[in-house]
Copies of this chain bind each other. A is one copy, B any other.
Amino acid sequence: MQRLEHRACFGGWQDVWRHESATLGCTMNVGVYLPPQAALGPCPVLYWLSGLTCTEQNAITKAGAQRYAAEHGLILVMPDTSPRGEGVADAEGYDIGLGAGFYVNATQAPWATHYRMHDYVVFELPAWIEAHFPTNGQRSISGHSMGGHGALVAALRHPGRYRSVSAFAPIVAPSVVPWGQKIFRAYLGEDTTIWREWDACALIEHATERLHILVDQGEADDFLAEQLRPELLEQACLSANHALTLRRHAGYDHSYYFIASFVGEHIEWHARALAAG
């Protein structure tokens, strides 16, 4: 493992690491923010999953989350959004291939070789983080758009693994929206029953753990009506009696200006759950 960046930030350190991922069969960049408290003892970890086209850089430079992580003593872990490097499959379009891992485990050629972002962010990355950084073993998870989908699916598929989950403008029902259908067809094949295993709204029906979900959604988000459809999550949570706080914000779009405006409240939410745990 190699440290690519090391920057003092709000009394702690915003680092970028490169490590070998056996799950993905490539090296991966990961942003790790260590709050000042991490110099004194173990801290809980909030995993942040970014959206389409992002690398680890978007969240670490634009979200402004470090300030709140420093206040609450959380480590932030912000991975890249797909496998990278020579030999990793790609295709035309910003919404498939590089930058669009979609946090699933692909089963179809040519994607199955490297595109196993779900196993990477849920298992291999936390194991690596917990082996090399001063964590107390507690985890929470959040993300944006494709990464909001990734966070919800990670929490819903793995009861007990996360103390709390939240999302910004998540793709809540990938099985029924164009971004998700394009990816699922390519990465998972034509059998739509398998798609439901990677779809937060479908997973909610059978959730055994009642983790209260926090979602923020901008009402001026260009992707709201076609790709995000938070009303489907609202219906699924209502049907399953699953606790959801869905906040709609007039004027806000899909950008990091939206995330920056509310990430402090998400970190406070996760910090409360982690402290209670």
Chain A residues in the interface with B (C-beta under 8 A):
7-11, 13-14, 61-62, 64, 66-67, 218, 220, 249-253, 255-258, 260-261, 264
Contact = CB atoms under 8 A, between A and B. Distances in A.
Contacts of A64: 64, 67, 260
A67 B67 CA distance: 11
Contacts of A251: 8, 13
Nearest to A255: B7
B218 A253 contact: no
A8 B260 contact: no
A166 B256 CA distance: 27
8 contacts: A8-B220, A8-B250, A8-B252, A8-B261, A9-B260, A61-B61, A66-B260, A67-B264
Given A62-B62, A66-B260, A67-B264, 10 more contacts: A7-B255, A8-B218, A8-B251, A9-B257, A9-B258, A10-B260, A61-B61, A64-B260, A66-B257, A67-B261
Interface SS of chain A: helix, strand, loop or mixed? mixed
Report copies per complex.
2
Nearest to A65: B64
Contacts of A250: 8
A95 B270 CA distance: 44
A256 B8 contact: no
Contacts of A7: 253, 255, 257-258
A260 B62 contact: no
Contacts of A252: 8
Closest 7 CB pairs of A and B: A8-B251, A64-B64, A9-B257, A7-B257, A8-B252, A10-B261, A61-B62
Contacts of A8: 218, 220, 249-253, 257-258, 261
A260 to B, nearest CB: 7
A62 B10 CA distance: 14
B9 A61 contact: no
A14 B257 contact: yes
B9 A261 contact: yes
